[in-house]
Amino acid sequence: MPRQKLKDSLREFERALEGPETGKKFVLKLFVSGATGRSARAIENMRNFCEQYLKGRYELEIIDIYQQPELLEREQVIAAPTLVKELPPPLRKLIGDMSDKEKILIGLNVKPKKD
């Protein structure tokens, strides 16, 4: 295969992996502590945020620290709720009930779409 064609194919493949729009796929983990009100708020807030700002280009995993305590040390989580952004780099961690959209936008480096 000619070199240029190979480069173009590789570029198309990478774009397909990244996802639509800006090309950034967000991989997020939300660590919560059981069925508390604060945990429920954090889950609802993050689901709403993701649907509003990251629709079609995110994976959100909810992890209950009581059910999977071994992940706390591996992910170095010291409080709950904590949101861990694994992708795109850099790794980021946000603590709280995820009600402050501005803080999340800045923390995840998400640029809101202009209407």
Asked whether 25 and 59 are in contact (CB, 8 A), the reply is: yes
Residue 92 lies in a domain: yes
Residue 55 lies in a domain: yes
Residue 78 lies in a domain: yes
Residue 87 lies in a domain: yes
Q: Which amino acid is at 100?
A: D
CA angle 62–65–66, rounded 5-degree value: 125
Name which of 11-15, 78-82, 101-105 the model is least confident about.
Answer: 11-15
> Span 43-66, mean pLDDT?
96
- Provide the domain limits for residue 62: 24-108
Which pair of tokens denotes residue 101? 């959209």
Residue 44 lies in a domain: yes
Rounded Cα–Cα distance for residues 31 and 4 (Å): 44
CATH number at residue 62: 3.40.30.10
pLDDT over 90 (residue 91): yes
CA angle 51–105–66, rounded 5-degree value: 70
Higher-confidence residue of 111 and 77: namely: 77
Number of domains in the chain: 1
Residue 16 lies in a domain: no
Rounded Cα–Cα distance for residues 2 and 4 (Å): 6
> Span 90-110, mean pLDDT?
94
Residue 41 lies in a domain: yes
3-state secondary structure 54-68: CCCCEEEEEEECCCC
